[in-house]
Chain A
Amino acid sequence: MGSFLGFGGGNKNEGSTAPAADSQALEVKSKIKNSIAQEMATAYATGLVNALSENCFQKCIIKPSDSLSTADEKCISDCASKFMRSWNLISKEYISRINKQS
């Protein structure tokens, strides 16, 4: 399975330290890493946006009207800020507990 002709010359590599193979491996590695990191960041952001929206909607929009009032917007922004501060606090606390237990 798999052809070896995908990239430049079909010569056998003697030792894997040939500069061409090296820089190609570097490129593939960084592509994989970047794409994984990108996926992770998206998943994290999505989860956070959902949690923030749900909590702040619950706290700030008591009676939904035909648009967001200035007060609503202030509440949403304060709420989001409180939520993120809570996230940081919980994160610190959780990590210190994990470190204590292991």
Chain B
Amino acid sequence: MSDIDVNSVQNLDENSKKEVANFIQQQTSKAKIQNSVTNFTDMCFKKCVTTVNDANLDRNEEECLGNCLNRFLDTNIKIVQILQSLQK
């Protein structure tokens, strides 16, 4: 990777700094989503894909994966609600 000179970064004009900051923000949220997707896939693959006979997912597996993700997210919301009600 090529080195980036610190001074040349500090000397960037305001618009360029904003542009870079925006880029970093975009990349960060993209990375967060990718990271979550990998974690969800890891979790749901374990639950839903029990046999490996060919390279394709069958109907049941696809349906299970979709349900798995959505029920996990539901669970997540429920947990937050429970914690909120405990705080009161």
Per-position 1/0 for A33-45, Cβ under 8 A of B: 1011110100110
In the complex with contacts A28-B9, A82-B49, A93-B20 CB distance below 8 A:
no
Q: What 1/0 mask marks residues of chain B from 52 to 73 whose CB sits below 8 Å from any chain A CB?
A: 1111110001100110011001
Write out, one digit per residue, whether chain A residues 11-46 have a CB within 8 A of any chain B CB (1) or not (0).
000001000010011001101110111101001100
* Min CB–CB distance A83 → chain B (angstroms): 6
C-alpha gap A58/B42 in the complex (Å): 12
- A28 in complex: contacting residue of B12, B48, B56, CB < 8 Å: B12
Chain A residues with CB under 8 A of B66: 89, 93
User: In the complex, which residues of chain A have a beta carbon less than 8 angstroms from the beta carbon of B30?
Assistant: 40
A36 to B73, CA, bound (A): 30
Interface pair B7/A32, CB less than 8 Å apart: no
Interchain CA distance A85-B70 in the complex, whole Å: 17
Top 5 closest pairs, chain A to chain B, by CB = A81-B55, A6-B7, A16-B13, A91-B37, A87-B41
A–B complex contacts, Cβ < 8 Å, 18 sampled: A2-B11, A6-B7, A37-B27, A43-B31, A47-B34, A55-B46, A58-B46, A78-B53, A79-B52, A81-B56, A82-B52, A85-B56, A91-B37, A93-B65, A93-B66, A93-B69, A93-B70, A97-B70
